[in-house]
Amino acid sequence: MIHITVGGEHREIGENTSVEELLRLENVEMPEYVSVSVNEDFVTRSDFAAHILRDGDVVEFLYYMGGGAV
């Protein structure tokens, strides 16, 4: 097990967990609209499956929202 921080909350996850798997573990709705940063660096969507998280990583999910009229 490794320890990471997701959105400011500490998590314990299995070794060799990818960003893609973390999205599933965290029950992220509509992951196609989520950008992910690991240690303040954005992970390219095409690399979600290959990017393996490491002990101490800090992960943020960023949701893009459009909207509204002025």
Local confidence pLDDT in tens for the 70 residues of the chain: 999 999 999 999 999 999 999 999 999 988 888 999 999 999 999 999 999 999 999 999 998 766 666 6
- The DSSP letter of residue 7 is T
What ranges do the domains of the chain cover? 2-63
Give me the DSSP letters along 17-62: -BHHHHHHHTT-SSGGGEEEEETTEEEPGGGTTT-B--TT-EEEEE
Say how many CA atoms lie within 13 Å of 16 toward its Cβ: 0
Q: How much is the pLDDT for 70? A: 63
What would the CATH number be for the domain defined by 2-63?
3.10.20.30
